[in-house]
Structure 1
Amino acid sequence: MVVGIGGVAVGAEPGAGQPGRAGMGRPTRRELTRGLFASVAALAFAPVVAASRPVPPAGAPAGTSFDETYRGRRIRGALVPAAERAVDGGEWQVTVDGRPLHLMRRADGSWLSMVDHYSSYPTPLAATRGAVDEMGPGQRLRDPAPGHMHMGGDHGVRA
């Protein structure tokens, strides 16, 4: 703002310098309405944003679960802690469309799935996504026989 002759502002916004108007520390009705509308919009979208984020199990540290849709398939995984497994802290239980997918930890710390024995992945999530990539659009994982973890034979395993 430039002050002209006699202390009159030259080139100032309309209403600036008047009591109760913008520029004097008090917002206008339009500014209050915009702020109120923005707050209401943020509150309206908060549940949508919160619902779109996967929620880890209670008390679980970050990186111990995932739940997402990948290439049209629902993939879920959670690290189930086991006291007797001190080496890696537990076992991953993973499902693709509700059917179990067995993951194995390699000696170098990478992961592989029962669907593809030849590829290694840095995380269980990456291994699960790799298994989905290897499965055809119409293929589904089969439920293993009770007490039988090896899924050899004609079960869609590429070995």
Structure 2
Amino acid sequence: MVIGAGGMAVGTEQQVTAAAVGRPTRREVARGLLASLAALALAPVVAASRPLPTAGGDSGSFHETYRGRRIQGVLLPVAGRRAAEGEWQITIDGRPLHLMRRADGTWLSMADHYTSYATPLEATRAAVDQLGPGQRLRDLAPGPMDATHADHMGTGGGHGVRA
């Protein structure tokens, strides 16, 4: 029951009757429905803002020794994409391994272009399997201080054409 300042019942007869019986008023039911609808409307927004688990259920990184090789992988976020669609930075013994994502969601590496793997970790392990005992990955993009790069540009060692 809704009581006013002078001790008198305030509100419509239905509100006074509903309050006396312990049932919610129409206004309270409408507020509850509105709050439920707001929660349902915001649920997809909240779900989309949470990072998705990556393939294989890992945390977005790995660091292990596999067949005597040190393999590391970190999922780097890319602007405009979801967390699970980031770019993997993979190294085998400190040398970079490039992974590519296929349209079906599987992965392949530059060491093995013919087989797809479910997770980046599986693709990295397969690349280690492809490497021989004494082989290492090559750096495909040498730095500016690398001698072969300097020779190619005609600035080092007296070899090459100079313009």
* TM-score of the superposed pair, with normalisation by structure 2: 0.50
The equivalent position to 2:71 in structure 1, one of 48, 71, 75, is 75
Q: Distance in 2 between matches of 1:75 and 1:143?
A: 16
The size of the alignment, in residue pairs, is 89
Superposed structure 1 runs of 4+ greater than 3 Å apart: 85-88
Alignment match, 1:113: 109
Q: Distance in 2 between matches of 1:73 and 1:146?
A: 22
Q: Distance in 1 between matches of 2:92 and 2:118?
A: 19
Where structure 1 has 5 or more consecutive residues not aligned to the other structure, the ranges are 1-60, 148-159
Alignment match, 2:18: none
Instruction: Tell me the amino acid that sits aligned with residue 134 of structure 1.
Output: Q
Q: Distance in 1 between matches of 2:117 and 2:93?
A: 20
1:90 pairs with 2:72: no
Which has the higher Rg, Structure 1 or Structure 2?
2
Return the structure number with greater helix share.
2
Where structure 2 has 5 or more consecutive residues not aligned to the other structure, the ranges are 1-52, 144-163
Alignment match, 1:156: none
Give 1:85 deviation, angstroms.
3.3
Give 1:146 deviation, angstroms.
5.2
Instruction: Tell me the amino acid that sits aligned with residue 90 of structure 1.
Output: G
Alignment match, 2:131: 135
Q: 1:83 touches 1:89 (CA, 8 Å); kept in 2?
A: no
1:63 pairs with 2:59: yes
* TM-score of the superposed pair, with normalisation by structure 1: 0.51
Instruction: Tell me the amino acid that sits aligned with residue 85 of structure 1.
Output: R
Give 1:143 deviation, angstroms.
1.1
Q: Distance in 1 between matches of 2:137 and 2:117?
A: 19
CA displacement 1:87-110 (0-9 Å, x = unmatched): 952100000000000000001100
Deviates more, 1:123-132 or 1:81-90: 81-90
SS of the counterpart of 1:120? strand
Pairwise CA RMSD of aligned residues?
Answer: 2.5
Q: Distance in 2 between matches of 1:105 and 1:77?
A: 15
Q: 1:106 to 1:114 in 2, by over 3 A?
A: same
